[in-house]
Structure 1
Amino acid sequence: MKKREIIIGTRGSKLALWQAEWVKSELQKLNPDLKIELNKIKTTGDKILDVPLAKVGGKGLFVKEIEEAILRGEADLAVHSMKDVPTDFPTGLHLAVICKREDPRDAFISGVKGKEFHINSFKELPKGATVGTSSLRRSCQLMSIRPDLKIEQLRGNLDTRLRKLDEEQFDAIILAAAGVKRLGWAERITETIEPEVSLPAIGQGAIGIECRVDDDFINKLIAPLNHEETSICVRAERACLKKLEGGCQVPIAAHARLIKMQDSGYKIQDKDMHRESFIVNHASGLLVLDGLVGSVSGNRIIKSRIEGDPKDAESLGIKLAEDLL
């Protein structure tokens, strides 16, 4: 491949820089002579920290300025957390690659008092305990299980949120496990919350790469970083989100997983639906997609599940959304 210098557009947070550096490293492993620079860009979501995301309004709060930089030629590609990426792109740009997913689950992190009293789960928090989260999705599901807890807004980068917890501004906080693990803070996690309890955000744990549609060099360069299984799952989740037309204003969740099969068919036990079904084997396995729409208070939550062939990922996502509407 022709030697060239390229620029990666990224936010300036520790996690965003970790992700951009990871992409840089992977590209240079494949292309040792390639020179790569990072262009750190402050987005609207980075600038407005005193208002809940649901009240800021709009979409693309953490990506718009980076996309504009690509269109101006100030960056060749952008590295995003997939849960921040809208389902529509500016003319001339596209989501070219979805990298291998980290742990998609939410992480419960107990504060100082929790450690003193050996609290190992959010279910063990005392009545009236204060839990910090910036996510309507998390607070909705948490309140549906523990309506006695006090949910308070928690904005800022991961290190800022952990610092606020250590300063005892909260009894506990809930974060995306992927970010905590990527920054080397896995030991801070008190409990990793299973999707059956807290269904993850669309795209949570996955890294996406956006670039110009007509930039053949960049599209070819980054193609090896695409992870097929993650791409199938995340595209199904995003199809559901697009059909629901959800942003940050409504509690929405969707999580897909690909079950690989060796035989012509097999039985699975669906604990949620209390049924057993026989699944015919597909070429790449079975795609199982769970979705949720809820009220902000957590008083009402609608859940649905759909299963099918991975090659129909996006149509399955749309069907799931229709079931939830």
Structure 2
Amino acid sequence: MKTPVIGARGSVLSKSQVNIVINLIEKKLNLKVSFKPLKSLGDIDLVSKISDITKEGSFTSTIEQALLKKEIDIAVHSFKDLPTVNSNKLRICAVLPRNSPKDLLIIYKESLRYDENGSWKITNGSRIATGSERRRSQLLNEFPNVTTPDIRGNVNTRIKKLLSGIYDGIIMAEAVFERIQIEIPENIIKIPLPLEKYPTSPAQGAICLQMEEDHALLDIVSTLNDPLTEKAVNLEREILASLGGGCQLPLGVTIIKSEGMWKVSLSIAHSDWKLHKQPNLTRIFLETVDFKSIKEKILNNINYISIPDKNLDKKSILLVGSKTTTDSYSFPIMTMGANVQSLNFFDYSEIWSKEFIKNHKSEWEKADWIIISSKRAIPALISFQKIFPKKNVQVATIGGNTARILQSKGLSVHIISKEGTAKSLISDMKKIVKKEQSLLILGAKNLIKDLTSELTKIENEFFSIPVYEAIPINSFDGITLKEEYDYTIFFSSNHVKTFFDKFSNVSSKNWVAIGPTTAKTLTDSGISNPKTATQRSLNGILEVIT
């Protein structure tokens, strides 16, 4: 048998990865192999920004072609560089145990400052170079007063540029430093970036092996596969594919298993992030033992992602909901060519204080589960936890956006309503919550009744503490609505009721509800067959209006 040939890029990092693979093959499979270095489009074009090299697989397609032409037998890739759709006749036959998935901030010490608690900040005006849109959006979200110039080149080139003083810092994968020796002077520090704030590219830190699906050695090489790494990184890539993205999508998603739990960190920049000095990000952090539920939970709870390729061709659209909600939807819908108007009927006022919290100590300490009805109850939850800390507080939320905010503040969310309704949440909780456990609702003074009504159907003891109230806006001076809209979209039942009380003369060719509860309220208000978004997200709405 001829000596099998390994093909990979010829960079220092790639060669180090090839050496890892060669050692494994020779020691575990008792095979001798040779190495053929190859150049990819990404290696040849060192001028364009990575985000401008728009073809997915720019760093891997040459190597895949070499496999198909039988010039090589085994391809070695950084898994994050591969397209999410595998090439015909090729198969990922092994994923090696993952190195660190984290990013590193490599920065001059003089560009950092520390507060009294020892937490670091990047000095305003620092130049932190990166070629990744995902890293750029994450960094600017936390440090809006830095600049993020583009950087290209291999590992050594980037380090040389940093040492030359062109930049104050750069961001690189921690796995790079685990695989190759890189000398860093004492005046430069390496800071691992926490996955909760800086989840990384799908499959970052993982090496994969690719072969023709009918190759004689396929089954033998497949024995090098690490099932745990394969399971995690394949799901990360599935989530990327489901969002329609390639390496240009500013998405970070990292899934690791620790202490028996799957821990998922995700961030994605809103479609208009480049218009803002401090970009808006959607963040999700969850912990679960149920691996199969992760993808559904992620996709059901991303409210605002990127602008799909849709054309709304000057359609008139009225968004009726809270200001925060309508603001997040109006920009992408306008970008698709629609004429958008927003309408809000409520202001919100907190009714809790430190003394209030102390007066409700007994309910808080008795509760095994905390149900958060909306994001406006989150400050009260945080204050309860600060004044009367609970070691194992378990949280359930009705809304995905509420869950994301909680996760961004470092709190775990154990149950998220699939449909965004009180009925759905309590149905989900029945499957998990033990009968002897007590439940506490934190929500609006005049809006908790849906939850309490559902909770009467189960056997658990429960309490409710109103922590804010929705105050109707009674003056609509200056608001001029059209007589008719192409689409009127409602984001809550309360807004449906108020709309028909105040603007019964406004008609719409299509009435749309964000979820089934809101759709039922529309039906009860005399609207026949309202459309219902397929999920509580921009894409869920677009599926019913385009």
Q: TM-score, normalised by structure 1?
A: 0.83
Q: Distance in 2 between matches of 1:310 and 1:225?
A: 26
Change in 2 beyond 3 A, CA 1:310/1:12 = farther
Is residue 270 of structure 2 the alignment partner of residue 290 of structure 1? no
SS of the residue corresponding to residue 22 of structure 1 reads helix
Contact conserved, 1:105 with 1:199, CA < 8 A, in 2? yes
Which residue of structure 2 lines up, in the alignment, with residue 132 of structure 1?
129
Contact conserved, 1:253 with 1:293, CA < 8 A, in 2? yes
Q: Percent identity?
A: 28
* Cα distance per residue 1:251-307 (max 9 Å; x no partner): 11111011343xxxxxxxxxxxxxxxxxxxxxxxx3232222104435211122455
Contact conserved, 2:196 with 2:265, CA < 8 A, in 1? no
Q: Distance in 2 between matches of 1:54 and 1:122?
A: 32
- CA deviation after TM superposition for structure 1 residue 117, in Å: 6.7
Is residue 244 of structure 2 the alignment partner of residue 245 of structure 1? yes
Q: Distance in 2 between matches of 1:258 and 1:186?
A: 31
Match of 1:61 among 58, 65, 68: 58
Contact conserved, 2:96 with 2:225, CA < 8 A, in 1? yes
Q: Distance in 1 between matches of 2:126 and 2:170?
A: 11
Which residue of structure 1 lines up, in the alignment, with residue 169 of structure 2?
172
Change in 2 beyond 3 A, CA 1:53/1:253 = same
Which residue of structure 1 lines up, in the alignment, with residue 49 of structure 2?
52
Q: Give the letter aligned to residue 279 of structure 2.
A: N
Change in 2 beyond 3 A, CA 1:189/1:30 = farther
- CA deviation after TM superposition for structure 1 residue 55, in Å: 1.2
Which residue of structure 2 lines up, in the alignment, with residue 302 of structure 1?
282
Q: Distance in 1 between matches of 2:101 and 2:298?
A: 19
Contact conserved, 1:232 with 1:310, CA < 8 A, in 2? no
- CA deviation after TM superposition for structure 1 residue 193, in Å: 0.8
Is residue 10 of structure 2 the alignment partner of residue 12 of structure 1? yes
Is residue 298 of structure 2 the alignment partner of residue 323 of structure 1? no
- CA deviation after TM superposition for structure 1 residue 125, in Å: 2.6
- CA deviation after TM superposition for structure 1 residue 30, in Å: 1.8
Which residue of structure 1 lines up, in the alignment, with residue 90 of structure 2?
93
Which residue of structure 2 lines up, in the alignment, with residue 269 of structure 1?
none
Which residue of structure 2 lines up, in the alignment, with residue 227 of structure 1?
226
Contact conserved, 1:252 with 1:294, CA < 8 A, in 2? yes
Which consecutive unaligned segments of at least 5 residues does structure 1 have? 262-285
Q: Distance in 1 between matches of 2:146 and 2:74?
A: 42
Which residue of structure 1 lines up, in the alignment, with residue 256 of structure 2?
257
Q: Name whichever of 303-312 and 177-186 sits farther off.
A: 303-312
Q: Distance in 2 between matches of 1:213 and 1:189?
A: 45
- CA deviation after TM superposition for structure 1 residue 309, in Å: 5.0
- CA deviation after TM superposition for structure 1 residue 20, in Å: 0.9
- CA deviation after TM superposition for structure 1 residue 319, in Å: 4.5
Which residue of structure 2 lines up, in the alignment, with residue 152 of structure 1?
149
Contact conserved, 1:305 with 1:320, CA < 8 A, in 2? no
Is residue 210 of structure 2 the alignment partner of residue 214 of structure 1? no
Which consecutive unaligned segments of at least 5 residues does structure 2 have? 306-546
Change in 2 beyond 3 A, CA 1:66/1:144 = same
- CA deviation after TM superposition for structure 1 residue 130, in Å: 0.4
Give runs of aligned pairs for residues 36-51 of structure 1, distance below 5 A.
36-51=33-48
Contact conserved, 1:60 with 1:86, CA < 8 A, in 2? yes
Change in 2 beyond 3 A, CA 1:210/1:108 = same
Q: Distance in 1 between matches of 2:139 and 2:34?
A: 41
Q: Distance in 2 between matches of 1:59 and 1:117?
A: 35
Contact conserved, 2:109 with 2:189, CA < 8 A, in 1? no
Q: Distance in 2 between matches of 1:70 and 1:117?
A: 46
Change in 2 beyond 3 A, CA 1:231/1:117 = closer
**RMSD of equivalent CA atoms:** 2.2
Which residue of structure 1 lines up, in the alignment, with residue 23 of structure 2?
25
Change in 2 beyond 3 A, CA 1:189/1:208 = farther
Q: Name whichever of 147-156 and 120-129 sits farther off.
A: 120-129
Q: Distance in 1 between matches of 2:297 and 2:212?
A: 30
Q: Distance in 2 between matches of 1:190 and 1:237?
A: 26
Q: Distance in 2 between matches of 1:319 and 1:92?
A: 32
SS of the residue corresponding to residue 16 of structure 1 reads helix
* Cα distance per residue 1:21-67 (max 9 Å; x no partner): 110111000233x2211111100111111111111211001100000
SS of the residue corresponding to residue 175 of structure 1 reads strand
Q: TM-score, normalised by structure 2?
A: 0.51
Q: Distance in 1 between matches of 2:137 and 2:56?
A: 20
Q: Give the letter aligned to residue 225 of structure 1.
A: L
Aligned length: 292
Higher Cα Rg, which structure? 2
- CA deviation after TM superposition for structure 1 residue 118, in Å: 6.9
